[in-house]
Amino acid sequence: MVDTLEIARQKFPGSQNSLDALCKRFSVDTSKREKHSALVDCHLLKNVYVNLLDQKEPKFNFNNIEHNDLKFEKRKIGKALGKIIKPSEGELRDHKNFLKKNLSKNFFN
């Protein structure tokens, strides 16, 4: 259990740290909050919590991207990754055996 109020008080001492105040501070959209609702508050608190920990999720706007920009980004990413090496059949088999042997509850097998 994490007490976000305690985190907010440590980060912003003397400031108002209600959910509404934190949403306003971090520019979290509260338009869906017509009245107090636990489910809506949970979604808002998730966004506030991410901001309190300084682990902001990137917000992308894909509406203004031109086709040429996408080609450039793909080339740039491809060069950054380098050569992709695929495992051989033997390596895949050895990996699968390792997982079966060493992990009692492996949901991927």
Among candidates 18, 40, 39, which has minimal Cα distance to 29? 40
For residue 74, which phi and psi values (nearest 5 degrees)?
A: -65, -40
- pTM for the model stands at 0.48
**What is residue 60's predicted lDDT score, i.e. its pLDDT?**
55
Q: Please give the DSSP secondary-structure letter assigned to residue 85.
A: -
**What is residue 25's predicted lDDT score, i.e. its pLDDT?**
92
**What is residue 106's predicted lDDT score, i.e. its pLDDT?**
46
**What is residue 16's predicted lDDT score, i.e. its pLDDT?**
93
Give dist(CA 4, CA 17) in Å, integer.
9
Give dist(CA 57, CA 47) in Å, integer.
9
**What is residue 94's predicted lDDT score, i.e. its pLDDT?**
93
Q: Which residues of the chain fall below pLDDT 70?
A: 55-82, 103-109
**What is residue 54's predicted lDDT score, i.e. its pLDDT?**
79
Among candidates 52, 51, 73, which has minimal Cα distance to 62? 73
- Catalytic residues, by residue number, are 36
